[in-house]
Structure 1
Amino acid sequence: MAFDTTAKSFRNSLVLCFASFQGPGPFPGVVDISEVGAGLPEYRASLLAGKGFAVMALAYYNYEDLPKSIEILHLEYFEEAVNYLLNRPEVKGPGLGLLGISKGGDLCLSMASFLKGITAATIINGCVANIGGVLQYKDETLPPLSINRNRIKVSEDGLVDIVDVLNCPLEGPDQKSFIPVERAECTFLFLVGLDDHNWKSEFYANEASNRLQAHGKEKPQIVFYPGAGHCIEPPYFPMCRASMHSLLGSPVIWGGEPRAHAVAQVDAWNQLRTFFHKHLGDKE
């Protein structure tokens, strides 16, 4: 199923948050993309808007008239979002920031790799390979990284641990799923929970760094958080240890130790704000 990129569909799938009380603008622009199953949450966008950014929270499936699955995603839809935000009078340009968590992280990596107009990207526990469904852009296609369900583990309390389910994107046919991050012209920040039980975020961040440097690109900033799980939210959000996985259809463990995870959320929020202010302009 393909995305409908008509004006009606696109306008229904975004929330714009502008920091009007910070002054007349224009402001540094950021596109915020959430995890699978999230619909169109706007809390990150709203909080960032209060810190001097013009933020677009963008849905990509299972919202309003968008498709109900991620079987096929078209990057042209995200390209339209980038161009739309850049053309807003409230946005200073010349480039945008991207903020993605989980599946939103690999989408942001793909946007940075294929699209123009991206200056800085923050990836929170993202994968360096395309996940979940086919990604298409013009005449290029990234297949999804394959999985092995035999590696699913179940805890004593019936929760599913899927950290080992995805295959390695460095081996065999799965190399075709590796996002060509070496094409990106932006600066990257990776925020990584070392107790992530959704997938191997530490490995993915390091492999993105290796690929970038092997092609003569700048080494990305990577911040590791011992004891932090997959769902690194803004400060003081309660830690989500486990919940229903919208694609798997089972309750899964996300990882994280409460105290360490809470500390990570505070620091990660400061890190990404500082990163965007540095690379997109304007100081708090």
Structure 2
Amino acid sequence: MICKLCSTYIKPLCFMAATQSKKRWESMTHLSPPAMRWRTSTSPAPVLTVTPARGLVDEPISIKAGFMPPQYPVTLCAQMRSEKGDLWEAFGHYKTSADGTVNLARDHSVGGSYLGCEPMGLFWALQPAPGERDGLRLRKKNVETPFIVDISLLEGHVTPRERENSELAVATTERWYMAPGVQRIDIRQNGVVGTLFLPPGPGRFPAVLDVWGMGGGLVEYRSSLAASRGFASFSIAYMEHKDLTVQLDIDSSDAYMKKAIDILRDHPQICGDRIGVISLCYGVYLTLRTATLADVNVRCTVMYSCVLKNLSCPLLYVLGEDDQNLSSTENSKLVHINGLKTAGKSYLYTRLSYPGAGHLIEPPYAPHTRMSYWRVKPEKLPTLWGGNIVSHAAAQEESWREILKFLDKNLRGHLSSYARCNVTE
């Protein structure tokens, strides 16, 4: 309905309040007039702002709402569709401050998907909506398109199922995995299958080889983010991909990994002597021997949840102490005490250990998955990853920041953050 007094959209009850007497209005509703002053035609409608409206998934979002009564109950709700069409959602219950505003960087959720002051809770607390498929894990396949997240301001402390009759304002934000100017290049060379991401500009850039776990296929979203932060990144497939001629194992991986690093080293926009490796789970086993070979000479290694020895370059070990998939804590002790310390190389070792975090430590603000179905031919089996939602979210945010600092220190050296290598040929 359009208000004749201010030409703005208002609910039918608001129109009645503007045209009928105060006494009659009180008799028609259970809510007293003082609590509903903002719903009259002479007051501005509630406003919801979500900034930036377009940004990278590892960037924080500012969510604010205003023009409401003080101490008024409202719900902030986030909803988005996965690439397969599954609905994911999260919500928090808030009360407005004395000036009638809500600011997620300041105010505490008193109920819903999370509690407390959590500015990004609407993102990392996303879970499959009731009625969606069981055992889902949110992973981005096409990094050249964003996730579209709808943020709603709802009246009262309600659930997303009740949004139709309680929606006060809506805003949308796009969450991208590639910054403007990042190049995505398909690589099918010398038997190597992968995707190379180059940062904006001519280079030359420091680079990382990005190797994932036994889920197989070609996983690109960590590489595209790394390139968005100034590092050329080469994500490779080694199993479960249609273009692979051979499925690799730990005994046959050396030649393949060398070829992948040579592709980076020979690229004209990449600093050939500033290459690192970042790997997860089973992918670590495949890269370990490669990283220790003298003729490969990688500058640094970032590992998630696995064992290592005989390393000669700086190592950042990231682990979740509630990892239910691998014995990450025990492995980290073996790496340090039985491996690097015994060899007199403790100075190479840095460990990031997170209580309450599970196996799947992703880039920041990704929804936590404690259990998901994992395809193990010929069927899908439930796999327990571990972690609790709040601690895991904190681990993802801090570890990504520390990984970028580690790569910057060891691949750029004295150069300023995100600067080009500019190697003299």
**What secondary structure does 2:208 align onto?**
strand
CA positional deviation for 1:111: 2.0
Larger deviation, residues 36-45 vs 89-98: 89-98
Mapping of 1:1-284 within 5 angstroms? 7=189, 9-10=191-192, 13-20=193-200, 23-66=201-244, 67-68=246-247, 70=249, 73-114=252-293, 116-125=296-305, 127-128=306-307, 181-182=309-310, 184-210=311-337, 211-219=339-347, 220-247=349-376, 250-281=381-412, 282=415, 283-284=417-418
Cα distance 1:71–1:88, how it changes in 2: closer, same or farther (>3 A)? closer
Higher strand residue share: 2
Q: Rate the CA distance shift 1:218–1:71 in 2: closer, same or farther, 3 A.
A: closer
Tell me how far apart the structure 2 counterparts of residues 106 and 202 of structure 1 sit (CA, whole Å).
Answer: 17
**1:41 is matched by which residue type in structure 2?**
V
The answer to whether the Cα contact below 8 Å between 1:36 and 1:246 also exists between their aligned partners in 2 is no
With over 3 angstroms needed to count, the CA separation of the structure-2 counterparts of 1:52 and 1:76, relative to structure 1, is same
Larger radius of gyration: 2
Q: Aligned equivalents of 2:283 and 2:272: distance in 1?
A: 22
Q: Secondary structure at the match of 1:118?
A: coil
Question: In the alignment, residue 343 of structure 2 is paired with which amino acid?
Answer: H
TM-score (norm 1): 0.73
How far apart, in 1, do the equivalents of 2:247 and 2:283 lie? Answer: 16
- Structure 2 residues without counterparts, runs of 5 or longer: 1-187, 419-425
| AA aligned opposite 1:214 | T
For the 8 Å contact 1:108–1:123, the answer to whether it is kept is: no
Given that residues 100 and 124 in structure 1 are in contact (C-alpha distance below 8 angstroms), is that contact kept between their aligned partners in structure 2?
yes
What secondary structure, in the 3-state scheme, does the structure 1 residue paired with 2:261 have?
helix
1:93 Cα deviation after fit: 3.2
Tell me how far apart the structure 2 counterparts of residues 229 and 213 of structure 1 sit (CA, whole Å): 26
Q: Which amino acid aligns with 2:304?
A: I
Post-superposition offset of 1:109: 2.4
Does the aligned pair in 1 maintain the 2:253–2:286 contact within 8 Å? Answer: no
Task: Return the alpha-carbon distance in structure 1 between the equivalents of residues 290 and 190 of structure 2.
Answer: 22
* Whole-Å separation in 2 of the counterparts to 1:198 and 1:18: 33
- Pick closer, same or farther for the CA change 1:118–1:199 going to 2, 3 Å: same
Tell me the amino acid that sits aligned with residue 303 of structure 2. I
Highest relative contact order (Cα 8 Å, sep 6+), 1 or 2? Answer: 1
1:153 corresponds in structure 2 to none
Greater CA drift, 248-257 or 225-234: 248-257
Whether the 8 Å CA contact 1:62–1:69 is kept in 2: the answer is no
8 Å CA contact 1:191–1:224 kept in 2: the answer is: yes
- d(CA) in 1 for partners of 2:277, 2:287: 6
How far apart in 2 are the matches of 1:124 and 1:185? Answer: 18
Given residue 74 of structure 1, which amino acid in structure 2 is its aligned partner? Answer: S
Give the number of aligned pairs: 222
* Residues 208-267 of structure 1: per-residue CA shift (max 9 Å, x gap): 112112112243000100000000000111111112344585212100000100010001
How far has the Cα of 1:117 moved from its partner? 2.3
Partner of 1:154: none
User: What whole-Å deviation, never above 9, does each CA across 1:124-174 have from its counterpart, x for those lacking one?
Assistant: 12x21xxxxxxxxxxxxxxxxxxxxxxxxxxxxxxxxxxxxxxxxxxxxxx
Q: Percent identity?
A: 32
Code of the aligned partner of 1:232: I
What's the secondary structure of 2:365's corresponding residue? coil
Aligned mates of 2:361, 2:224 — CA distance in 1? 17
RMSD: 2.0
Distance 1:277 1:79 in 2: 23
Normalised TM-score (structure 2)? 0.50
Q: Please say if residues 264 and 272 of structure 2, whose CA atoms lie closer than 8 Å, have aligned partners that are also in contact.
A: no
Offset, 1:72: 5.5
Q: Is the 8 A contact 1:31 1:56 kept in 2?
A: yes
Mapped to 2, the partners of 1:7 and 1:92 lie a distance apart of 19
Runs of 4+ aligned structure 1 residues displaced above 6 Å come to: none
In the alignment, is the contact (CA less than 8 A) between 2:318 and 2:353 conserved in 1?
yes
User: Following the alignment from structure 1 to structure 2, what is the Cα–Cα distance between the partners of residues 278 and 209?
Assistant: 21
Whole-Å separation in 2 of the counterparts to 1:185 and 1:72: 21
Distance in 1 between residues matched to 2:399 and 2:222, nearest whole Å:
13
